[in-house]
Amino acid sequence: MASNLYTHQTENIARTWVLMVVFALIVIGVGWAVSFYFESPALLYVAVAFAVFMNVGSYWFSDKIAAKMAGAHPADERQYQELHNIVENLAITAGLPKPRVYIIDDPAPNAFATGRNAEHALVAVTTGLLSMMERSELEGVLAHELSHIGNRDMLVATVAVVLVGFVTIISDIFLRATFFGGRGSNDNRGHPALAILAVVMIVLAPVAATLIRLAVSRKREFLADASGALLTRYPEGLASALQKIGGYPAALRKANTATAHLFISNPFGPAKAMSGLAKLFMTHPPVEERVKALLGK
């Protein structure tokens, strides 16, 4: 079992690096397309500056923003003593500082971790998760979330968000300029085929960037599952918890697309996750695949 999980970790790390390289190539391609089409790098510089400004801010305050959007509040240590004890014990085992512990008052079972690094991390669980899970299942869920912290997944997610924002902003500037302006005095320069290629790249780049960001998120879920199972030495606990969470029919009350990728399972519920083309844009792999990977099937 341990061998299978270690192999799974290695594969997902390699795949994530590949996806990030492809992501970088998209950014470079969009930069070329904008520069070629408008024959001026000024818009590119403005877009980069704006994207960096907005996303650096979101990086530094990501934990507070995510907690607020999810309706999470600090878990009183006396009221939730067992929860705090489990988090502390797992953090010690993982060699991490104990993250802040938060509660979401919601009957739907779920949990998430966020923060720019291990020293500024928090773990949040719903009241529904606490009421539905056996101790081994709760330990599996919390080990998964601590693995996200230990694997520095929050940093990876932030980098992906920066890249998506960068690509989207440039594309938006281009499209607005196309509708309300033109290329300027040099419309006849360059090969028409290159101009068409530039337009296609900029229009489709945000979609491609979003798909890659979601793919990175899905791969990281597999990695956190594997790391969490190694932390508890009991993958069956996390597998059972995932089945319970995935089978719950209702969505979180404050579920939203901005924070969906942070949760251990899709906060919109199974019906939303599998409807139409939504599967392509899922932030999480199917529960069945995750359970099979955990149990080595």
Please list the active-site residues.
145
d(CA 55, CA 61): 10
Task: State the helix-helix crossing angle for 2-38 and 192-232, rounded to 10 degrees.
Answer: 160
Pairing verdict, β 122-126 and 100-104? parallel
Neighbours of 45 (CB within 10 A): 10
Which DSSP helix (H) or strand (E) runs through 62? helix 62-70
DSSP notation for 14-28:
HHHHHHHHHHHHHHH
Of the candidates 76, 141, 139, the one whose C-alpha atom is nearest the C-alpha of residue 105 is: 76
Q: Identify the three-state secondary structure at position 2.
A: helix
Q: Confirm or deny that 284 is annotated as ligand binding.
A: no
d(CA 182, CA 47): 18
Write down the residue that tokens 């878990």 correspond to.
75
Q: Confirm or deny that 221 is annotated as ligand binding.
A: yes
Q: Let me know the angle formed at the C-alpha of 240 by 243 and 237, rounded to the nearest 5 degrees.
A: 150
Which DSSP helix (H) or strand (E) runs through 74? strand 72-74
CA atoms within 13 A on the CB side of 294: 31
Q: Confirm or deny that 191 is annotated as ligand binding.
A: no
Residues of each annotated binding site for Zn(2+): 144, 148, 221
